[in-house]
Amino acid sequence: MSSSTGTHFQVLRGLDLRSATLTPDSLSISYSKETTEIEPEGYVGVDRNLDNVTTASTDCTARRFDLSQATRIRSNYRVVKSRFRRNDA
């Protein structure tokens, strides 16, 4: 066994091997491991509407992003696109 192979086995030590798949092009290894739970510092809520997106977070900040121009552009593009005709059919 080469030294690099030994290094790879050291990386896998301590993990719970679930499956391994070997194909002519790749090696896929599925594993599980214990993790520690992290307590979040806060949360963010997102409200998405047709013309805006509003975010609110637990640090009492709220932002509104106006998407009305994007909605208008999309609507105009749909009208323009509907007027194109193929000449090869």
Of residues 53 and 5, the one with the higher pLDDT is 53
CA distances, 80 to each of 45, 75, 76, 83, 86 (Å) = 36, 9, 6, 5, 14
Q: Which amino acid is at 62?
A: A
Looking at residue 5, what is its pLDDT? 54
- The span from the CA of 89 to the CA of 81, in Å, is 17
CA 81 to the chain's CA centroid? 30
> Can you give the pTM of this predicted structure?
0.46
Same domain, 26 and 54: no
Q: Which of 39, 71, 34, 33 is nearest to 52 (CA)?
A: 71
Mark whether 55 and 76 lie in a shared domain: yes
Residues 48-70: pLDDT tens digits?
Answer: 998 999 999 999 999 999 999 99
Total domains in the chain come to 2
In a domain, 2, yes or no: no
Determine the structural domain holding residue 65 and report its residue range: 44-82
